[in-house]
Amino acid sequence: MKLSLSQEQLAAYVDRQIEQFFPDGTAGIGCYLSRTLERVDYCFSRVRNKYFLDGEQTLFNHLHSDQYAMFLYFLSNTVWRTDGNARLASKIYGLNKALHAVDLFYEVELPSAFLLSHPVGTVLGRGNYADYFVVYQNCTVGSNLDGEYPVLEEGVVMYGGCSLIGRCHIQQNTWIAAGTLVMDRDLPRDQVVFGRHPLVASKSTRRNVQEQYFLS
């Protein structure tokens, strides 16, 4: 993977940002960085976008805000997975909110291959996510009043301003149109979905989310 900063420079850069926002002297992400970048490399290598992959190698530019938001999620989640360091993971999670206005808690398990596309205002809760997930701005995945969260199969794209709430099973290759609200409802595969709860409709599509946004 081609980095815009060396690993040492990147670790120092993130540590300085954390210290700027949370100046209590307890940063130090260096020991988590290699594993995080392995996860970033795998994810970016599957994104069909010239800024993520140049045909020969993956690209990570710390000044590309979508990439950096994805990196900070992977970093916070890696910290949590590695040794349960909730204090540091919370700071990285908070840094991501401050820089990108995206709410991706470190305990949320996003898939290995996903894409955030200018995700300002997006909140992704504790749903069950699968590979080839794409999310745009101002989207929400959240629970109903009974604490039930959506289950998403492979190849789901959420366009701007849409929400998945509660006990939903979103099957493979589902395109959720801008402004759509789905609540406590299952959706069939290979559909474009639109409308707002309870008036949600869908129509079949031959387009494929994975082929559109990702490489096999």
Q: Which of 186, 177, 182, 185 is nearest to 196 (CA)?
A: 182
Residue 129 has pLDDT above 80, yes or no: yes
pLDDT of residue 55: 81
Residue 51 has pLDDT above 90, yes or no: yes
Label residues 129-139 b or e (16+ Cβ within 10 Å = b).
Answer: bbbbbbbbbbb
Q: Which of 164, 198, 170, 209 is nearest to 186 (CA)?
A: 170
For 86-120, the pLDDT digits (tens) are: 999 999 999 999 999 999 999 999 999 999 999 99
For 12-26, the pLDDT digits (tens) are: 999 999 999 999 987
pLDDT of residue 154: 98
- Does 114-209 carry CATH code 2.160.10.10? yes
DSSP 198: T
For 149-193, the pLDDT digits (tens) are: 999 999 999 999 999 999 999 999 999 999 999 999 999 999 999
Q: What is the mean pLDDT of the chain?
A: 97
pLDDT of residue 120: 98
pLDDT of residue 27: 78
Domain(s) labelled CATH 2.160.10.10 in the chain stretch across 114-209
For 119-135, what is the mean pLDDT?
A: 98
Q: Rounded CA gap, 36 and 214, in Å?
A: 20
